[in-house]
Amino acid sequence: MNIVIKNGTVVTAIEEFQADILIEDQKIIAIGKDLDVRGAAVIDATGRYVLPGGVDQHTHFNFSFRTATVRGFETSNAALIGGTTTVVDFANQQVGWTVKDSIEDYMEKKVIGKAMCDYAFHGVVFDPSAALFKEITRLPDIGVPTIKLFMAYKGHPYHCDDDSVFKALQASKESGVTIMVHAENADVIDVLQKQLLAEGKTGPYYHAVSRPPLVEIEATQRAINLAAMAGAPLFVVHVTCKESMEAIRDAYNRGLPVFGETCTHYLVLDTENLAKPNFEGAKYVCSPALRSEMHRNALWEAIKKGWLKCVSSDHCGFDWKEQKHLGKDDFTVIPNGAPGLENRLAVLWTYGVEKGRISRQKFVELFATAPAKINGLFPRKGHIGIGSDADIVIFDPDFKGVMSVENSLQGVDYCTYEGMEQIGRVEKVFLRGNLTVDDGIFIGHAGQGEFIKGQPFGLAYQE
């Protein structure tokens, strides 16, 4: 049966207007006033904003840090109650395997039958062999036009050196693959970690001390130079500090195709969270580390002005009690990562739109449209337009509450934003035309999420 969403204010990345939206066979087929909607089920959105379903281009449903592994796609309904209908998840290459086989294996064992939101993938390099660099050119054939390299994490299986980053950049450009980097200087972090531990500085706060802004700034500048030498576009993930952002902005202004994102937690949390007593600080151990208010303000300006392209969650769900406590006596073994998939809309709306830092249009761009473009999913995803998937959020702007682990679907024993004010609420969500959240409650089922293939030559090749 067709569905019509009536009387709402439709918000896109460029405008907002009063209109009805007609949905048929998972797609938006008409937008306007006085549509012929005979026979359609009517959803009344009076007093509500009608937003495109969010695209979170940075989730780790599959990540391990030493022995600890994150919550998987069994918790992907958390995306939906948070207004995100598509995630682009980091799919790790297995050592000795192709990226293609690794992703197929991941899908078969951990995604299909479990995913509740739609999903696409970035590859993640674990085995930078000659075969891998050849394979990069073929990744678009499997609908994966992006691949990430970790410049950080010395001694971990996913650490990559400059040799690998440069070769990946060289391999990427002909076939429109976007190289993403986690930019931190692995050697300097390793030295600082060892020195701090030798001085008996073992608590979570020293995570930030071992990863000062300059380790990120240096690696970001290096990655930009490697990309320039390779003549390839570059996308820097989770940018946290002013000078890294400025390096990206200035490179772009010099004519280089260099782009970046930031993440929700870097906009509203800071280093002081890591100093919380009773090992609470471990909840905020993620990399790069949280920064000061000066950097937060610079990031808000950057997303408003378009110097950083989108805001992701870097969702990475390790429990505090069992998993973060592995690093009780040594901050270097605290699993890196924090959950946030469910809170991305609430944080951006409450602390961005409601505080007057960004417009509703900019919100939609950062939350849905730009990440869809970066990953070759636009205009199918991230947009309310004729022919787009009917991924639609009906948003109540009048709700007032707080963010909490209570009622969370993230499957993690804490909320990164516990107790913080929340204005507005995701009331209903349609995933390809199917009502999957109603009155804020998930009503869908495991396995309803579909694999969405990304197209090559995304935003990093276009802007």
Which residues would be at the binding site for ligand DUC (CB under 6 A)?
A: 60, 63, 182, 286-287, 314, 316, 336-337
Shortest Cβ distance from residue 181 to Zn ion (Å)?
A: 9
The interface region with Zn ion, picked from 118-126, 177-185, 200-208, 421-429 by CB under 5 A, is 177-185
Distance of CA 303 to the CA centre of its chain: 14
Cβ atoms within 10 Å of 202's Cβ, excluding its own: 15
What whole-number distance in Å separates Cα of residue 266 and Cα of residue 288? 9
| Cβ at position 237, least distance to ligand DUC in Å | 8
Minimum distance, C-beta of residue 92 to ligand DUC, in the bound complex (Å) = 11
Give residue 454's Cα distance to chain centre.
15
- Give the one entry of ligand DUC, Zn ion, none that residue 184 binds, where binding means its C-beta sits below a cut-off of 5 to 8 angstroms depending on kind: none
Query: How many residues comprise the chain?
Result: 463
6 touches, from ligand DUC, Zn ion, none (C-beta below 5 to 8 Å by class): none
Q: Which does 430 bind (CB under 5 to 8 A by kind): ligand DUC, Zn ion, none?
A: none
How far apart, in whole angstroms, are the C-alpha atoms of residue 317 and residue 63?
9
Minimum CB separation from ligand DUC for residue 289, in Å?
Answer: 9
Query: Greatest CA separation found in the chain?
Result: 74
In the block, tokens 């490179």 appear at 251
314 touches Zn ion by CB under 5 A: yes
Please count the residues of this chain forming the interface with Zn ion, following the rule CB under 5 A.
2
**CA 23 – CA 121 distance, rounded (Å):** 27
The smaller minimum CB distance to ligand DUC, of residues 410 and 436, is found at 410
Nearer to ligand DUC, 63 or 430 (CB): 63
Q: Residue 411 is encoded by which pair of tokens? A: 């499957």
Distance CA 215, CA 224 (A): 14
Partner whose binding site includes residue 410, from ligand DUC, Zn ion, none (CB under 5 to 8 Å by kind): none
Closer residue to ligand DUC (CB): 251 or 316: 316
Residue among 167 and 182 whose Cβ is closer to ligand DUC = 182
DSSP strands (E only) in 300-449: 311-312, 392-402, 421-431, 434-438, 441-442
* Cβ 237 to Zn ion shortest distance, Å: 6
196: left (phi over 0), alpha (psi -120 to 50) or beta: alpha
404 contact partners, CB below 8 Å, separation of at least 6: 415, 418, 419
Question: Residue 182 or 381: which CB sits closer to Zn ion?
Answer: 182
CB of 255 to Zn ion, least distance (A): 27
Of 122, 159, 182, 242, the residue at the interface with Zn ion (CB under 5 A) is 182
**What minimum distance in Å lies between the beta carbon of 312 and Zn ion?**
8
Nearer to Zn ion, 262 or 448 (CB): 262
- Segment holding 289, helix H or strand E: none
Give the distance from CA 160 to its chain's centroid: 21
- Using the minimum distance from each CB to ligand DUC, give the nearer residue, 60 or 167: 60
DSSP E strands in 382-461: the ranges are 392-402, 421-431, 434-438, 441-442
Q: Which residue is nearest to Zn ion (CB)?
A: 182
Residues in contact with Zn ion by CB under 5 A are 182, 314
